[in-house]
Every structure is written in structure tokens, then in C-alpha cells.
Structure 1
Amino acid sequence: MFYKVEYQKRAHQEVEKIFRVLLPEQGLAVREEQIRLCHEMLDTLLGERIALCDAGVGIGKTYAYLVACVLLRKYSMLTGRGNPLEQRPVVVSTSSIALQKAIVTEYIPFLSRVLLEQGMIQSPLRAVVRKGKEHFVCDNRLEQRIEAIRHKQKNAAQKEALLSLRKHYDMDTVKDLSGFDRRLVCVPKFCPRECPGRQTCRYQRYLEESKKQDVFLQICNHNYLLADAFHRREEYKPLLADYRALVVDEAHKLPEAARQMFGKNLCKDDIREIAYYLEREHQNVEARTLKAGMYSIFTIIGESHIFSHGIKENFQLTGECEFCLWEGIQMIERMMEQLKGVVPKWVLNRLQEAKEVLECFLQKNSKYVLHLRMDKEKIPVLCAASREIPQLLREMLWDREQALSVILTSGTLKAGKGFARTLQMTGLGGRTDVQSYVAESPFAYEENCLLYLPKTLRKCKRGSREEVEMVAGQIHSLICSTYGHTLVLFTSYTLMGSVYQILRDGIPFPMVEVWRHSQEEILRFKTMENAVLFAAGSCWEGVDFPGDMVSSLIIVKLPFAVPDPISEAEKETYESLEDYIQAIIVPDMQKKLRQGFGRAIRTETDTCVVSILDFRAVKGGKYHEDVMCALPPCQMAEELREVQDFIRSRKGVEYYL
């Protein structure tokens, strides 16, 4: 016991030295909240507990948990006196490929060098990124695909990308690779042991490298973490090496990853892909039969539904739908029976998966929310979303027999005054061993940020011309008041397009409009001096605009989630609509609002005006208190003149040039 306390004390002393001496010597700032966060994380890891750590913008949470993990490994090895179990790696799960890459290429090499030079560790830190088979090239399938397109016309850039896979086995590193080619050349779900290329397989070499004893960190995305947990529960071979601690970064996205992982989907592309595999096995008749039968099913189901919500709609089991689903199941069963022993097992498994989706819809399986969404070709996709996500997370991740230390961290785990929504979504509700910690952002919001809630806003009919013109007028005034340098975040692409049409010829600054994932447009905006960026969707988080690039952030509407079949099903579990709004709708809005607000101030010296153009957010508005509770303390303004005064007082002459 004495040794354990002594080593724990020594580990915390090293936290102080690393963040107050060693990292500042390398140019990093001392941040008190970052140091406190690291101490909290270290206690969680050493104490084999679970912690929710809400880390504000600019904390530097990545260094905080990496240092805690290094010290866990160092001091648990000492206290374990060489027990090989104590040398198990740590898993870091994220939702972002960019963050995974940064940890491997920037954070870990930097920390390793600094700690080695100081003698705090004895060997370099090693980290590997673990990804699913669909990210890597199967050499045999690649050569088959190259041969298949050798004499066919194909987009030049896509063909070049395909050929480059002979050098690059990780497909995420190759640009212009088509989604169809990715699916055809990736490592299959089931690799045959008798594969002739197994000895030289680049994917097998990658697996062997990742399992070496000196690997300190295994880094993966949330889907891979959940797939490994599923394998362990079902007593399949685990995907990850046995680990003693887990850090879930960007943890607010874990429930959504689980919804994708444990849902069932079937679309036209899935059928097209299975048919391709059948053709490659010289089963052309079966391939044509499958495509004709399944395309007919998609058509009948699509014609039986009116998509009143645009792209999503609840599934209705009409008589016509019931009959076509039954026929589809019978067709696939006959086909599987005929093909048994003729085609590889993994092709039969793909047919089985398609059959299971049809059965789920035919039987109206109550474990799922059954709904449809439209693909790009306006063909319905059959979607079955699990109703048991919190329970599944609890069973597979948190209720493990083997002791496990867990840190869940993000900038938006806390909603309003607490963590209730996060606890509920992640399956941690009701546990007594879960701690929570809030690390406030080091940025001086009260000095550097002005929150503008214009008192001139009025209620307009949603989607009306009056609403569009009012929003456009407010945005025009703000853009001119801050001399461009503006990011405008919308919750609706329709409203964004309408406002853009009104303003594009009346603003004396460059304007850029982003539709969904247009990284080129975002990069173009960053090269301009005083431009205006209209954005929605993914731009609410994960994009960085430091300095004067964004000195005015305009949030057009409070980011309430658009009702869909999944949220409607969740609403049914509450006694009243008001209970549902307070427990689910408002906390989710607050989290999204915090994400959007985080685009405003990205460094200690940034200054910004944040405007919310939603009458429900202003003083006296229905959600004013919820908005104020979600955001850090800022200076407040209700008149445009105060915005102009703030910008003039914070910006130099060069800002206007």
C-alpha cells in the first residue's frame, strides 16, 4: 500500500514538471486548467474508474490524456513489479481521422522526444492506428480490378488513384479513389486462410506490426472500438490487443457511432456490389436475378411512401410492401441454397445480411426504429436503427469483468448544468463509479467576446419570404459592421441558399458558400482577407478559423434537431412533450450551440462578436436562459452600435485594409 501511494504521488509530481517546465521549454504555454485536467485523468486511470471530462476550447486535452497515459504505463509497471498484464496498451478512440493522424505524427513523437531527453521514459513511445479491413487494399482483389478496367473507359484521376494502390496499402492516403473501387479492392470481411497471397499480404504485415509488445497506444475510431467490443462479447477473436485503459476522445459522437454500428441498412449500392461479386464468380444469372428482384422491391417500397420530411420517412408495412419483402426473402434463400459450396463464404454472408434486413422490415422488429431515407438516385434505403444503444454500450464497454480505466472527453459532454443527457446516451446512467469534471476554457471570453442578441428580431413564419428577408437584413448589417471576416452558420441549407441569393450582389466583400463537405471552398475562404463564409452541417464543429479570419460569428437559428423517425420514437418513451423537450431536445440544442460557438475564439488573442438571430434566444425569449447557461460569460449587446464599437476597440488599422 505504501509503494502504491508513493508511486501515485511521484506520478503527480511528474505531471507538474512536464506541464510547468518541460513543455514550456518547447514553446507551449502553461495552462492551469490543462494541468488540473491531467491530474484528474491520471487519478481516474490509476484508480480504475470512469470519468467524464468536459474540456473547453483551448485546454489542450490531448496532451493532458496522453501524459496521463504515459505515467499510467510507467508507474503501473513499477507497482506491478513486471506483471505482463500491466504492460497492456492503452486504446485511444476518436471520431476524426485528422486527430488520429495528429496523435501518431505530431503529439506522440513530440512527447516521446521530450520525455526521453529528460530520462522520464527509457524507450520511445510507439503508437499505431487501427482501422477496419475496408480501409486497406487486398492485393489479389486490386489486381483483379485493374485487369477488369484495363480496356474500359474510366475517369483518368480515378484510374490513377486505383493504380497508386500498388504502392499505398492504406486507401485513406489516396485521393480521387471512387467509393465503388474502394469497396471492390478492400480486404474482404472474411479472408480465406488458403489465400495464395497471404505470406506477402501488406494487410497481414500491418496486423503483425500493430501487435508488437512495445506498442504503447492503439488508436482507432469509435466504430472499430465498438466492433472489437462486439467481438469480445460474442467470443470472436478480438480486433484490438487486450488493453488496460480506454480514452474516448470526441466522446459526444460515440452514441451516433453505436447507432451506425448496430443498425441494419440495405441500399441499391449494396445489391450492386453483391451482384459484382457474383459475376466475378461466374454467377451471371444469379447476379441479374438479384438485381432485378431487389430493384423492384426498392421501387415498390418507394412508391408506397410519401417523403413528407424530405429525405427520411417512417416505414409503413402496406400489403404490397409485405408481399414484395416476402418474395425478396424467398429469392435470397433459394439463391443461397444453390450457391452453397460454389461461391466463397463471405459472398454468402453478404446475401445473408441482405436477407436479415428484409426480415427485420417484414416482421416489424420492435428492437429497431424502421425508417427509409433517399439516396442520391432518389432510391429508398432500408434503415433499421437500434432502440437499445445505451444498453448495448453499457453491456459491451462498461460492464466488463476485467477492471478497466475509462476517460470520456469532449468539449460538449456537459449540457446546461450537468451531464444527465451524456450519461443517458452512453449507458452510464445509474452507475455510482462515474465521476465528472469540467475544465473551463482558458480563453478570456468576458474580455474578448461580445454576445449580440438583437432586440429588433421579430417572429416570422418558418420558411416564409418575410423570414428570409429579415435574416438577410440582419446579416447584411453585421457583415458591414465588422468589415467582413464573418462565418454565418445555418441549420437549414434551404434558408442558407435563399439568403445567399439576396446578399451575393449587395455585399462589398468576397462571399463563399459551402454545401455539405466542400473542403475546397473552406480552404478558399481561408486564403481571403475579409471574406464571408456561409455554411451549415459539418461546419458547426471541427473547422478552425484562428486570428482575424472570423471576427464575427453569426448563428442564424438555435440548432434544434430536425424531427426524424428516430427522435419521434424516443419521444414516445416520455410521459409528456414538455418532459421530452427538457430531457432531450434542449440539452442536444445546447451541445450543438456550444460546438458552433467554439468556432469564434480559437486562440488566446482572438476577439469576436457572436450574434444569434433567433427571437427565442433574446432577452425574454423562450430559450434565453438555456442559451445563457450553455455559453461562457461574455459581454452582452442588444444594439448594432455596440457591435461596431466593440470591433473598433479590438481591431487595429490592418484589420480594415
Structure 2
Amino acid sequence: MQTYPTGYVESHHIAEQIFREILPRHGMAVREEQIALCHEVLDTLYNKEISLCDAGVGTGKTLAYLVGCILWQMHRPERMKLPIVISTSSVALQDAILTEYLPDLSAVLLSEGIITAPITAVVRKGKERFVCDARLAERASLVQPSRKRQRNSLHIAENILDMDHIPELSRYDRCRICVPQSCPRDCFLREDCRYQQYLRDSMKPDIQICNHNYLLADASHRQEDRPLLLRSYQALVVDEAHKLPDAARQMYTETLSPHNMDELCLLLQQAHYKDFARQMRTAFLTLSFSCTQGLSKLRGKASEPFVLTPFRRAALIDCIALLQNAGGLPDVPRYLLNRLGEAESLLRLFLLEVPTRILYIDYDADGQPTFCAASSRVPQLLRSALWNTREPAILTSGTLTAAGDFSHTEQLLGLAAYRPLRHFRADSPFNYKKKCLLYFPPRVKMQMDNRKMAEEIVRLVGACHGHALVLFTAYRQMAEVRALTDGQWTYPTYQAWRNGGKIIQKFKQSGNGVLFAAGSCWEGIDFPGDMVSLLIIAKLPFPIPDPVSDYERRQYPNLRDYINAEIIPEMQKKLRQGFGRAIRTEQDSCVVAILDERAGIGGKYHDAALAALPTCPITEKIEDVQQFIREQKRPDYFL
């Protein structure tokens, strides 16, 4: 007879009751995929395993894993109860979990007698996101009375600790009022400090919410026996898990920028080492010049693998020697010695060309170089940091598979050889065969340039009466194509650049507008209803080559193997993210047009593109697009 852990059977039974009886009484529909995901979460937690859960749009994955975690935690022995950590990529999802999902779920479960006390949670963030009361008071005293908007933001900061929720707070003010890296022990506000109180309160809740970078920073602290950033936890949920490899690459890449160099010189100057600061500044300028010598004018950002020329070697040696000498200066503050030591260690990597590092230089739009040393062992580091703890973990996203295969994600996350490893797939419950039409332009012999792309967009926008989101992989192409469509329709038209939240909101309010977008608009933004009834994907979202991808390519015997193993799966996952902007509820309907000729019928990547998307009707005729919109939309759509 099979035996189960304590609470296992009861947790699964209550999960069925919650999703099939309780939540429907409170206005929620029954979703079989959501229930299956909750059972997968419970099995993973009780068996102390790791599960990769690919959950399509509309599955309701957030509620599924929250219910599973709450039921598991509820049945844990009191002496073993520790928090559950939920790690996400976006601030928006963190806020939604804290202020919408958990309060609503807690109220329902309390009213039904499932739980006896409210569910408690806290968002954990880096100290640079919180207000320092002492620095706020100092900053507010310096702002002129005429600067009313600035004074208003600083006044709001007196009552709101989290700077992410303070409207119109400038980046400059954020830097001036945030909690410093090291709080002075003799601070006159220490006893009444809101940040210190937040730290004390954050140790109590059942659920701790953070972003991927904070999770990895905490893991690094645990490995190095430094003070923990997160309270010890017993289970981990990684939502938006497709973003974790990017966060890890960022975490395991050391950088030294011109701003960092200037800051070090300023700190030396403030510590009364003016002559040494002057020498250091000269050495840094020489080093920067050695990297820009012979560089043609850049158009936007660029990266190049680091090459150790004789000039660069000499400049590196001079900088390293000076940084080393800083340790012999009398009475240098410890924090400054640490910063100087970090800069020395990084530059030494460029001198020695360590094989476990990928060395390259990032140039900003002005041609200023940043020294970057990325780890070539990110998957191994991830496994050591997160998975070798043997605590249960659920990693979920709408794009963990590429054409139905988890292999690429397993490799990126350091789970390729991890066993036992669970897999779960829930397709979207939406009826794409009825509610979605996939359009490819008729194939032509010539490549589709920006002018032809603009003409195609004009035809599609006219056929769908606006209500369009046009996604690009590059801001430059977005601007050029947008200019070519100017004056071609009467619908309100918007262009979202980086941090384009206000523009996106105006588009949503317009009703029938056209939004040109790139970057973050490929994922994480909700466009429910008819506001996006036409989704245009200008180009297949292949990853942009950089020095790290150049290194990865050299690990494969030939280019074809590299493309099949790395490039196509990355494109497929990003394409699914973009496609997910089309249909957000059961009632939505949308035309999805992919204008890249490589994706069209007979194109080189047609099969790869289709394998990434749900099955839906395909057409090359603009008349079919017009007919689809006429059949799907209500009369008021066309007004």
C-alpha cells in the first residue's frame, strides 16, 4: 500500500474544492489547466523536487501556485514552518501578487474556513529602492520653494518608503535620498528609521517576494557566509522563469564603467588624497583612450571582444599598479579599499585573460568604454547557487519550452543533468483555431525593406480598422517605419520608446489606436479586449549577436549546430512572448501578422515559427483578414 507524506492527500482534496467549488462561487471560472498545475505544484513541494512548468496564456498560473504553496505550508509541522520565496522578473507582477492576488485569495479562504489567519507577505528589494529618512530631510532642505513638482515628490516620500511607488521622483533625487550602502551607526534617526523597521517586519511574513537579481544576491551571500538578504526559506517559486538566465548573466558579469572610475576618483578626493586621485584619473583616461583609439564613430550602443594590444597592456599595468598602491595609503576607509580592490581584480582579469571569463568592452552612444567580464559558467553557477540546496522549487513561465521541448531551458538554468527533474505543460485554454488568424504577406523575390513593410502595415491597419500593436526588434527600424506610415490613416498613433508607460496607457485609452513598440512591450503588458485586434510582428525576434554569444558559438562544431541549438530556440521563446500580447481573455479575437519573409509560407524559418505558436488558421490574403474582423467584431468596434 502506497504511503503519502502528512497532509498530501488532504492538500490535493482541498485544492479540488477551492478551484471547483469555492472560487466559482466568488465569480471565477473553472480552468482544468489551472487545477492540473496546482496539483503539480503540490506534488513537487511534497516530494522536495524541482519542476519546470510551462503554462500558456490564460492558464491562471499565479493563482495555481499560490494555492498550492498555501496548502502545503498549512500542513507543514509547526516546528518546520519557514517562509516561501516567490521570485519574479517584473515589479508589476510583484505588486499584483502583494496587493491583488494574495489579499483576494486570503479573504476568500478565510470566509470559507480553509485558513484561520490572513496570509502575510512582503516584497524584498535592494536598499537602493527605499527612502533614507535622514538623507530625505537633508535633500528636502536644499530644494528651492519654486520647484513645486520636485518638492511634492519629496513630500510624498515622507509617507511612502518604496521609491517605486513615488510618482515623478527624478533619478537624481532617487540617488540622493535612497538608503546608503552602509548606514552610519551614529545616525540620529536610527531608532525611528522606517527602513530599519521594514527590515524587522520583513522577517515575519509567510511569503517573501523578490526579483531574480535579489534572489541571486541572497544565494551569493549564503555561499559566502555573509548576512542573509532573505530569511531562510523552505521552498522557492520562480515566476517569469525564462528571465532568470538573463538575471544570472547580469549577476555574474563584473563591470567597470567610466562612471565607476569617476566615482572612485571622487571618493579618493573626498578622503583627502587629491594627488593620488589625480594620478588615478589620468591612468583611467589613458586606459579609456587605449580602448577607443582607432574606433570609428559609433551609431548607438556597441560591444566588441577585448583584444590585448601593447598600448592597452601598458595602460592596464599602470592602472593595476596604482590601485594596488592605494592599499598602502594611511587611514583609507574600509569601504573605499573594497571598491578599489574590486576594480583592481577586474582589470587584472583583462591583463591575464582568464579562460573562465568572457572579456569584452561595451561602448555607450558617446563611445565611452565599459570593461565587462562575464562568466562562461553561468549554468553551473546557477545550479550551485539555487538547485544544489535540494529545497523544492517550481519554475514557471509561458515560454519555458521551444517547440514543446524543455532542453534549451534546462541547459540555460543549469538543470540539464539535474535529476529527478519534473516537467509540466499546460496549453493555453483559449480557442485559437476560432479566435485567431495568422497572416503572412505573399512571398516576393525581393527582401521586404522598410518601405514595403510600411505599405503592408498600412494595408493591415486599414483592414482591421486600427486597434493595432506593431512590434519591432529594433527601435531604429520602428522609428523609420513609423515615419513612412505618417498620414496614412486617421487612427490615433503612438510610439513607445524605453520607459514608455504613459504612451502605452494613452494607447489603451484611445480605443482604436495604433501603437508602434519594441523592447519590453514584447512581454508582460496586458492588452485585453479589442484594443489589440491586430498584432503585427515586423521581424522574427532572433537574439542580437554579442561577445557572449560569439563565445557560445565557438563551443559548437559548426554554425548550423549552434543555430539549431541556441538561436532558433531563443527566437521561438521570444516569438511566443510577443504572440501572447494578442489574446488575453476567452472573448478576445485577433489577427497576428508576421511580416518577416523568412517566416512566410515557404520561408527558411516558417516551420520553426509555426512550431512555436498555437495551431490557428493561416492566410496570405488581405481579404481573409477583412472577413475575419467582420465576423469576429461587434458593430460598435467599427465606430
TM-score scaled to structure 1, two decimals? 0.92
- Partner of residue 489, structure 1: 471
Residues 201-210 or 594-603, more deviating: 201-210
The residue type paired with residue 73 of structure 1 is Q
For 1:270 and 1:425, locate their aligned partners in 2 and report how far apart those are by CA, in whole Å: 30
* Structure 1 residue 432, shift from structure 2 partner: 2.2
Query: Could you say if the C-alpha distance between residues 558 and 39 of structure 1 is closer, same or farther in structure 2, counting changes exceeding 3 Å?
Result: same
Aligned-partner SS, 2:526: coil
Q: Tell me, yes or no, if the aligned pair for 2:143 and 2:151 is still in contact at 8 Å.
A: no
- Partner of residue 321, structure 2: 330
For 1:6 and 1:24, locate their aligned partners in 2 and report how far apart those are by CA, in whole Å: 28
* Structure 1 residue 651, shift from structure 2 partner: 1.1
Listed one character per residue, the Cα deviations across residues 361-416 of structure 1 (whole Å, up to 9, x for unaligned) are: 2222222211222235431221221111000001111112xx41100000000111
Work out the percentage of aligned pairs sharing the same amino acid: 47
Q: Tell me, yes or no, if the aligned pair for 2:5 and 2:46 is still in contact at 8 Å.
A: no
- Partner of residue 378, structure 2: 389
Equivalent positions of 1:433-452 (< 5 A) are 433-452=420-439
Which of 168, 180, 185 aligns to 1:176? It is 168
Equivalent positions of 1:612-627 (< 5 A) are 612-627=594-609
The residue type paired with residue 568 of structure 1 is D
* Structure 1 residue 477, shift from structure 2 partner: 0.8
Aligned-partner SS, 1:328: helix
Which of 310, 319, 325 aligns to 1:319? It is 310
Structure 1 alignment gaps of length 5 or more? 461-465
- Partner of residue 7, structure 2: 7
Residues 178-187 or 570-579, more deviating: 178-187
Query: Could you say if the C-alpha distance between residues 389 and 103 of structure 1 is closer, same or farther in structure 2, counting changes exceeding 3 Å?
Result: same
For 1:610 and 1:14, locate their aligned partners in 2 and report how far apart those are by CA, in whole Å: 40
For 2:312 and 2:72, locate their aligned partners in 1 and report how far apart those are by CA, in whole Å: 56
Equivalent positions of 1:209-220 (< 5 A) are 209-212=201-204, 215-220=205-210
User: Is 2:415 the partner of 1:428?
Assistant: yes
Which of 509, 517, 526 aligns to 2:499? It is 517
Which of 547, 552, 559 aligns to 1:570? It is 552
Q: Tell me, yes or no, if the aligned pair for 2:6 and 2:75 is still in contact at 8 Å.
A: no
Count the aligned residue pairs: 638
For 1:328 and 1:142, locate their aligned partners in 2 and report how far apart those are by CA, in whole Å: 36
Equivalent positions of 1:215-234 (< 5 A) are 215-234=205-224
For 1:171 and 1:337, locate their aligned partners in 2 and report how far apart those are by CA, in whole Å: 39
User: Is 2:45 the partner of 1:54?
Assistant: no
Q: Tell me, yes or no, if the aligned pair for 1:459 and 1:615 is still in contact at 8 Å.
A: no
User: Is 2:370 the partner of 1:378?
Assistant: no
- Partner of residue 63, structure 1: 63
Listed one character per residue, the Cα deviations across residues 84-129 of structure 1 (whole Å, up to 9, x for unaligned) are: 2x21110000011111111111111111111111111121110011
User: Is 2:121 the partner of 1:134?
Assistant: no
TM-score scaled to structure 2, two decimals? 0.95
For 1:330 and 1:404, locate their aligned partners in 2 and report how far apart those are by CA, in whole Å: 45
Residues 364-373 or 15-24, more deviating: 364-373
Aligned-partner SS, 2:92: helix
User: Is 2:631 the partner of 1:649?
Assistant: yes
Listed one character per residue, the Cα deviations across residues 418-475 of structure 1 (whole Å, up to 9, x for unaligned) are: 1010000000001221111111111111110001122244442xxxxx6112111111
Residues 525-534 or 600-609, more deviating: 525-534
Q: Tell me, yes or no, if the aligned pair for 2:299 and 2:365 is still in contact at 8 Å.
A: no
Q: Tell me, yes or no, if the aligned pair for 2:265 and 2:281 is still in contact at 8 Å.
A: yes
User: Is 2:75 the partner of 1:92?
Assistant: no
Equivalent positions of 1:211-290 (< 5 A) are 211-212=203-204, 215-278=205-268, 280-281=270-271, 286-290=276-280
Q: Tell me, yes or no, if the aligned pair for 2:301 and 2:364 is still in contact at 8 Å.
A: no
User: Is 2:346 the partner of 1:352?
Assistant: no
User: Is 2:373 the partner of 1:413?
Assistant: no
Q: Tell me, yes or no, if the aligned pair for 1:189 and 1:346 is still in contact at 8 Å.
A: no
* Structure 1 residue 631, shift from structure 2 partner: 0.3
For 1:187 and 1:385, locate their aligned partners in 2 and report how far apart those are by CA, in whole Å: 28
Query: Could you say if the C-alpha distance between residues 60 and 457 of structure 1 is closer, same or farther in structure 2, counting changes exceeding 3 Å?
Result: farther
For 1:331 and 1:627, locate their aligned partners in 2 and report how far apart those are by CA, in whole Å: 54
- Partner of residue 203, structure 1: 195
Query: Could you say if the C-alpha distance between residues 73 and 165 of structure 1 is closer, same or farther in structure 2, counting changes exceeding 3 Å?
Result: same
- Partner of residue 42, structure 2: 42
Which of 556, 575, 578 aligns to 1:593? It is 575
* Structure 1 residue 55, shift from structure 2 partner: 0.6
Q: Tell me, yes or no, if the aligned pair for 1:108 and 1:125 is still in contact at 8 Å.
A: yes
Q: Tell me, yes or no, if the aligned pair for 2:437 and 2:628 is still in contact at 8 Å.
A: yes
* Structure 1 residue 37, shift from structure 2 partner: 0.7
Q: Tell me, yes or no, if the aligned pair for 1:488 and 1:554 is still in contact at 8 Å.
A: yes
Listed one character per residue, the Cα deviations across residues 321-361 of structure 1 (whole Å, up to 9, x for unaligned) are: 222222222222333432x5343x22322222222222222
Query: Could you say if the C-alpha distance between residues 367 and 142 of structure 1 is closer, same or farther in structure 2, counting changes exceeding 3 Å?
Result: farther
For 1:516 and 1:139, locate their aligned partners in 2 and report how far apart those are by CA, in whole Å: 31
Query: Could you say if the C-alpha distance between residues 231 and 406 of structure 1 is closer, same or farther in structure 2, counting changes exceeding 3 Å?
Result: same
